[in-house]
Amino acid sequence: MGSCGAQRAEDAASRGGRIRIAGLLAVWVLAVSLTGCGGGDGEDVATTTTPPVDEALQAPDAPVVIAHRGASGDAPEHTFAAYDLALEQGADYVEQDLQLTADGVLVALHDATLDRTARGPTESCTGAVATKTIEQLRECDMGSWFNEAYPDRADPDYVGLAIPTMEEILDRYGTDVRYYIEVKSSGAESGMEEPLVELLTGSGLVDGGSGFRQVIVQSFSPESLRLVRSLAPELPLVQLFVVSGDQLTEALLDDVVAYAVGIGPSSVDVDEALVEAAHARCLAVHPYTVDDPTEMVRLLDVGVDGMFTNVPDVLLGQRAGHRAPLECTPEAAGR
């Protein structure tokens, strides 16, 4: 996801005073359900009954809160510290940006290069991620940069945080949380799509068992999304758009409907007309990246289905009373 700046919704003292909801199992996250996912009726006593969906994974009753790189306003982005905090705060989804190492391991990192957020040996912790092995990346400290950049939010526990692999993320959280995964590529040649689908399948996150879109995959590349769709048609996909300054055209939305269930525009490109046009095509609207409460309210008022934020707790405080995300059947969406 594109960078959002580090604007603060409230000062450090006020934010520190907010009550955190403790524990992953206490998360009351409610995730987006864009299509009904019914199961077949049993025909005899041997038929397996689908277990009830965990209460924390039921259909949402308000626009979804997507933790941009985790709770990255308060902890180093794409570390377990940021992910854990996002879930404690009550985020519905935690976002992972993916990069691929030289030895084919998917890791969570926004930038294609290590220089901004990694500290450690130059040969291992600077330059392109694609030129490093996972063992080299294990030498990197992914937390100290945050303490340097934001001394008012510094924490000694952030020093030495490791870069997480996607496999480690799935092992840590399993089927208890919702994932919003971005394939960082300029096309389907990145090589990320197949290993990602393999990991999600092995973790039981592709077969639709949760019934309520537990995983969403997003990309700026239509080719990448189409490849994911060919590998795992069950996975819901969201088409990202760069900041354009212009309204997205209806013709463009018509193209997206062929393979995706939603769009991810920059917040500056979102207005009521865009939301209405997207909803008419059963496309959800998840703008990025919003930390200002006033802008949050504007977007909620025009009817977005959720949004990305670095401060999930701030958005949770604004979304009450706004309508639940779009709910469409596959037939209504024409797919």
What type of residue sits at position 26?
Answer: A
Give the pLDDT band of residue 323 (cuts 50, 70, 90).
Answer: confident
Give the model's pLDDT for residue 326. 80
- Using CA atoms, how far apart are residues 71 and 210, in angstroms rounded to an integer? 24
For 115-141, write each residue's pLDDT tens digit.
999 999 999 999 999 999 999 999 999
- Which of 193-207, 213-227, 289-303, 321-335 is the least confident region? 321-335
Q: For residue 279, indicate whether it is catalytic.
A: no
Mean pLDDT of 236-246: 88
- Using CA atoms, how far apart are residues 326 and 22, in angstroms rounded to an integer? 29
Checking phi first, is residue 282 left (phi over 0); if not, alpha (psi -120 to 50) or beta?
left
Q: Is the pLDDT of residue 15 over 90?
A: no
Tallying the residues shown for the chain, one arrives at 335
For 270-288, write each residue's pLDDT tens digit.
999 999 999 999 999 999 9
Q: 313-320: list long-range contacts, CB under 8 Å, 24+ apart.
A: 313/15, 313/18, 313/20, 313/71, 313/89, 313/90, 314/9, 314/10, 315/65, 315/290, 316/65, 316/89, 316/90, 316/91, 317/293, 318/293, 319/62, 319/63, 319/65, 320/62
What type of residue sits at position 191?
Answer: G
Q: Is the pLDDT of residue 55 over 90?
A: no
Task: Record the tokens describing residue 197, joined without a space.
Answer: 């689908």
Mean pLDDT of 195-199: 97
Give the model's pLDDT for residue 26. 33
Closest to 58 (Cα-Cα) out of 40, 32, 83: 32
Element (H, E) at 284: strand 284-285
Q: What's this model's pTM, rounded to 2 decimal places?
A: 0.83
Q: Which of 68, 78, 286, 322 is catalytic?
A: 68
The residues with which 180 forms a beta bridge, in sequence order, are 95, 216
Per-chain mean pLDDT for the chain: 84
Closest to 73 (Cα-Cα) out of 317, 314, 311: 311
For 65-116, write each residue's pLDDT tens digit.
999 999 999 999 999 999 999 999 999 999 999 999 999 999 999 999 999 9
Q: Which tops the pLDDT comparison, 38 or 229?
A: 229
Give the model's pLDDT for residue 190. 66
Give the model's pLDDT for residue 248. 86
Q: Which tops the pLDDT comparison, 71 or 187?
A: 71
Q: Which tops the pLDDT comparison, 52 or 227?
A: 227
Instruction: List phi, psi (to 5°) of 181.
Output: -110, 130
Give the model's pLDDT for residue 61. 87
8 Å CB contact between 197 and 215: no
What type of residue sits at position 205?
Answer: L
Give the pLDDT band of residue 24 (cuts 50, 70, 90).
Answer: very low
Q: For residue 68, indicate whether it is catalytic.
A: yes
Collapsing DSSP states into helix, strand and coil, what is residue 141? strand
- Using CA atoms, how far apart are residues 274 and 146, in angstroms rounded to an integer? 36
Give the pLDDT band of residue 13 (cuts 50, 70, 90).
Answer: very low
Give the model's pLDDT for residue 327. 75
Domains of the chain (ranges, CATH numbers):
24-36+53-112+164-333 (3.20.20.190)
Q: Is the pLDDT of residue 209 over 80?
A: no
Q: Which tops the pLDDT comparison, 11 or 220?
A: 220
8 Å CB contact between 143 and 158: yes
Give the model's pLDDT for residue 186. 55
